[in-house]
Amino acid sequence: MSRAAGPNLVGMICYALDALIFVWVKDWIGVGLHAFFLYGMWGGYQFMREWPRARQLLSQTVTGTHTPPPAAPAP
């Protein structure tokens, strides 16, 4: 996990708690917008979580140290 993923997760939790205010006052457009942006923030969190592994795989592919898996036998 990258170092920025933890603070991003904390920010998402705070943003979700902020959404509860909109639920309390029954502002459903605000709730919908919060849900939409939380969905986008979740995608960014997943990207940051996977980025170190993807970067390592990419560097192995570029330098030629990565060997692809064997191809499936032809039927």
Is residue 75 one of the residues assigned to a domain? no
pLDDT of residue 68: 65
Domain membership flag for residue 70: no
Q: Is residue 71 in a domain?
A: no
Model confidence pTM above 0.85: no
Q: Kindly list the distances between the CA atom of residue 33 and the CA atoms of 20, 36, 72, 74, in Å, as whole numbers in the listed order.
A: 12, 5, 46, 50
Owning domain of residue 58: 5-63
Structural domain includes residue 72: no
Residue 16 lies inside a defined structural domain of this protein: yes
Q: How many domains does the chain have?
A: 1
Residue 56 is assigned to a structural domain of this protein? yes
Could you list the pLDDT tens digit for every one of the 75 residues in the chain? 567 778 888 889 999 999 999 999 999 999 999 999 999 999 988 888 888 787 788 777 766 666 666 777 766
| CA 49 – CA 12 distance, rounded (Å) | 14
At residue 24, the pLDDT reads 95
C-alpha 18/C-alpha 21 separation (Å) is 6
**Is 10 within the bounds of a domain?**
yes
